[in-house]
Amino acid sequence: MYQYDHYDQTIVNERVAQYKDQTRRYLAGELSEDEFRPLRLQNGLYIQRHAPMLRIAIPYGLLSSRQLRMLAHIARTYDRGYGHFSTRQNLQLNWPELARVPEILELLASVQMHSIQTSGNCIRNITTDPFAGVAPDEIVDPRPYAEILRQWSTFHPEFAYLPRKFKIALNGAAQDRAVVQWHDIGLDLIRNEAGEIGLRVLVGGGMGRTPMLGSVIREFLPWQHMLTYCEAILRVYNRYGRRDNSFKARIKILVKALGAAEFARQVEEEWTHVKDGPSILTQEEFDRVAACFTQPAYETLSDQVPGLNARLAQNKAFANWVRRNVHAHKVPGYAAVTLSLKKTGVPPGDCTAEQMELVANLADRYSFGELRVSHEQNLILADVKKADLYELWQQARLGGLATPNIGLLTDIVCCPGGDFCSLANAKSIPIAAAIQRRFDDLDYLHDIGEIDLNISGCMNSCGHHHVGHIGILGVDKNDQEWYQISIGGAQGNDSSLGTVIGPSFAAEDVPGVIEKLIETYLEHRTEEERFIDTLRRIGVEPFKARVYRGTRDNKAKEVVNG
Amino acid sequence: MAKLIRHEGIVEDEWSVLRFPAKEEPLRKQAGKPVLFKLTGEASATPDEIANLAVPEGKTIIPLPLWLARSDELAARLAAATLGVWIDSHESPEALAGSLDDLNRFAVIAVNFPRFIDGRGYSIAALLRTRYGYRGELRAIGEVLLDQLFYLKRCGFDAYALRTDQNIDDAARRLRDFSHPYQAAADQPLPLFRRQARGLTA
Ligand code: SF4
């Protein structure tokens, strides 16, 4: 992974000093609340319901075991012994003390980490495929590009006070696992006919109150121009994005208002001025960064592991885990493994300090000392020898990290919601827990098969409910917590937005509604169909009809009488 | 005379900034919240207001709409180097650049930050420096706070009229918050990777 040089280290050290002084001035009353807010936000510090929340950057989801041990230490010393991995591959601490955050930043800097620009109206943490570098369908490894973008966006002086937050994602594989269509800028690394590497540039995707898929504004941008083109996009946005209404301030609103073609024209016009400037990337700089992402020292192995098949045949629990949590790897004899943070009864994405230390040890023993955080809020060991799978499984199981549910109904993506977040309309964690309890039967769960269930506590959509095959959104009705349910959303290459099925539900009814949706699917599915396939074939109506059977007429009558 | 940061030093400011008289504007709301920003391109003043604003003697920094409408009348002041112009965050640096052959005939150009979180002024400054060839004094006015000085400097500002409650003695330090920024910007046309041989020497 990327290693800081003297300059990178100096920048994070100077940031710690700067923020220490800002915190001191705030506490001394020299900085007002309003003036301190953007400063602390650009260091990832929110003021939440109970306490501040600190969001630590995990650039493109990549961590070393040493860094994870430091995160465990910080969680134990400055928090309540756990952290929450978010849908943007970051780590959130829910209970740090504002006055001690500079100490935390100092510890982070000691392991080449920071919390820079994890919040605020600036360019946020760059995200990418958690299987980067190991996925069999990879075309171009996105990590060097992500690191180059990280450096460019760090303290970019012109783009620190944008109309709104700004998220960039990169994908380099045939199957998009970085959800580039849902980002302010989505970059798809591709090769042209001559074999040269370039970027397909999408702009204006985003969830939130007005969900929109990004539009392609350039089919092929030579990679050397990645920074100059982003600069052009950001400049157009910084100047013309709406600042009068925070609900309309994201770039997607500007792209929609102008039309993608006109927006692209303005970007291209801006770009003609900067494209041949000094920010054009050099091969030398690319090579320097890419040298940090070379392949680890893989052994030459056969893909057939003696004894593995017998184990799988004998041990159903192990077989379930391998089926769900072990993924293909481009190198024979190796696999990528997801450690599930979705055990029933534990808030999705939460991880204790002990678990972090266990994962750090597992990474050292089995995966070259590195791991990844996925935007589905799980941890991934990307380079595990197949021969080690059984051993790894046993150890992960002891740590509560081997729930065999990746991609299944209980692998719920869920934001912190009303338990922590002051913006929430409703709680989300208890809903996830109730659904996990309802579907706790493993055989049933595996029979239902692949399905994405996403929960957000409000329209800000941190739980990405728009793209869940089933999406649950917390809404506020007369000061009560209600849940609106949508179906048919999807991420990846065939992204779609979910359709709301009808009036919302009280918390206690949600698991029952999910059950009815699942039953409808099971009744209609053909052999190979996943939930989303059946839904796309038969449409939303049969699902709706099942869920609202009996209640529909009553509703209609009420309206008529009203 | 008010104090000003010029480069990294504290000086007496010999210029005064001319603004349109404050007027009662109806409170506009969007999504239930008061609108705090003008949209880019929105008009700044009515033709009457522009025609009626008197330009005082002495070194004066006038609003852009006034310059655009009355440049003939103000040509002598420009030649005498007693005229500067200020541009608001929602106004167009293109219009300013198109209004005379060489922006360097202005002894000073100021960019107004109506609120410090309005980041348009950074792009305006960057354009004046890197696209429109302005080399004279580029001054940040309005809600200019210590914690934004470093970014302002990087975008090409070299003078700062800090809001009066700010600790002006702290400014020089704030201008040097970071020693080796990554990106190219108006103050440093080369990105770090072209300035320094980078490598694993940490
Ligand atoms: S979706 Fe809403 S409730 Fe959930 S974390 Fe985001 S802002 Fe908070």
Instruction: Specify the higher pLDDT residue, B35 or B109.
Output: B109
Distance from CA of B73 to the nearest CA of A (A): 31
Q: State pTM to two decimals.
A: 0.93
Buried b (16+ CB within 10 A) or exposed e, A416-447: bbbbbbeebbbbbbbbbbbbbebbeebeebee
Tokens encoding A196: 């040269």
d(CA A416, CA B73): 62
Q: Indicate the pLDDT class of residue B24, thresholds 50, 70 and 90.
A: confident
What's the pLDDT at B189?
Answer: 93
Find the A242 Cα to ligand 1 centroid distance in Å.
Answer: 22
- Asked whether the beta carbons of residue B179 and residue A10 sit closer than 8 angstroms, the reply is yes
State which residues form the domain around A271: 127-290
Same domain, A103 and A188: no
Per-residue model confidence as pLDDT tens digits over A240-266: 999 998 889 999 999 999 999 999 999
Residues of chain A neighbouring B183 (CB-CB closer than 8 A):
152, 155-157, 227, 279
Which of A363, A392, A414, A394 lies closest to A87 in space, CA to CA?
A: A414
Torsion of CA B123, B126, B127, B130, to 10 degrees: -160
Question: Span A174-194, mean pLDDT?
Answer: 96
- B40 inside 8 A of chain A by CB: yes
Element (H, E) at A481: strand A480-487
* Residue A555 reports pLDDT greater than 60: no
Q: Are A5 and B170 in contact (CB under 8 A)?
A: no
Same domain, A214 and A279: yes
A121 within a domain of the structure (yes/no):
no
Q: Indicate the pLDDT class of residue B174, thresholds 50, 70 and 90.
A: very high
Domain B3-20+34-197 CATH (choose: 1.10.3680, 3.30.70, 1.10.287, 3.20.20): 3.20.20
DSSP SS3 for B18: coil
A115 within a domain of the structure (yes/no):
no
CA atoms within 13 A on the CB side of A243: 24
- B165 inside 8 A of chain A by CB: no
Angle made by CA atoms A260, A241, A55, in degrees to the nearest 5: 105
Per-residue model confidence as pLDDT tens digits over A324-367: 999 999 999 999 999 999 999 899 999 999 999 999 999 999 99
Per-residue model confidence as pLDDT tens digits over A365-416: 999 999 999 999 999 999 999 999 999 999 999 999 999 999 999 999 999 9
Q: Indicate the pLDDT class of residue A556, thresholds 50, 70 and 90.
A: very low
> Where in chain B are the domains?
3-20+34-197
Same domain, A102 and A132: no
Same domain, A148 and A219: yes
Domain of A43: which CATH number? 3.30.70
- Asked whether the beta carbons of residue B122 and residue A243 sit closer than 8 angstroms, the reply is no
- Asked whether the beta carbons of residue B122 and residue A161 sit closer than 8 angstroms, the reply is yes
**Looking at the 3D structure of chain A, how many domains does it have?**
4
CA atoms within 13 A on the CB side of B77: 19
Same domain, A534 and A388: no
A303 within a domain of the structure (yes/no):
no
Q: Which of residues 47-76 of B touch A (CB under 8 A)?
A: none
* Residue A558 reports pLDDT greater than 80: no
What's the pLDDT at B200?
Answer: 54
Same domain, A163 and A220: yes
How many residues are present in chain B? 202
Residues of chain B neighbouring A9 (CB-CB closer than 8 A):
202
Query: What was the ipTM of the complex prediction?
Result: 0.96
Same domain, A500 and A460: yes
Element (H, E) at A70: helix A65-78
Element (H, E) at A85: strand A82-85
CB count within 10 Å of CB A449 equals: 17
A297 within a domain of the structure (yes/no):
no
Long-range contacts of A535-540 (CB under 8 A, 24+ apart): A535/A469, A535/A487, A535/A488, A536/A488, A540/A487, A540/A488, A540/A499, A540/A501
Per-residue model confidence as pLDDT tens digits over A16-50: 999 999 999 999 999 999 999 999 999 999 987 66
A348 within a domain of the structure (yes/no):
yes
d(CA A457, CA B142): 38
Distance from CA of A146 to the nearest CA of B (A): 15
A296 within a domain of the structure (yes/no):
no
Same domain, A255 and A323: no
Q: What is the mean pLDDT of chain B?
A: 94
Residues of chain B neighbouring A6 (CB-CB closer than 8 A):
201-202
Please tell me which of the candidates B117, B150, B201 has its beta carbon nearest to residue A5: B201
Q: Specify burial of residue A70 (Cβ count, 10 A radius: 0-12, 13-18, 19+).
A: buried
Same domain, A140 and A286: yes
* Residue B77 reports pLDDT greater than 60: yes
Q: Are A235 and B123 in contact (CB under 8 A)?
A: yes
DSSP B21: P
d(CA B40, CA B38): 6
Same domain, A96 and A159: no
What's the pLDDT at A270?
Answer: 98
Atom of ligand 1 nearest to the CA of A474: 3
Distance from CA of B15 to the nearest CA of A (A): 27
A212 within a domain of the structure (yes/no):
yes
Q: What is the mean pLDDT of chain A?
A: 94
Atom of ligand 1 nearest to the CA of A421: 8
What's the pLDDT at B55?
Answer: 96
Which of A64, A69, A67, A45 lies closest to A55 in space, CA to CA?
A: A45
- Asked whether the beta carbons of residue A157 and residue B30 sit closer than 8 angstroms, the reply is no
Determine the residue among A158, A273, A285, A460 to mutate to test chain B binding: the one whose Cβ has the most chain B Cβ atoms within 10 Å: A158
Same domain, A165 and A265: yes
A120 within a domain of the structure (yes/no):
no
Domain of A136: which CATH number? 3.30.413.10
Per-residue model confidence as pLDDT tens digits over A458-512: 999 999 999 999 999 999 998 899 999 999 999 988 889 999 999 999 999 999 9
Same domain, A183 and A224: yes
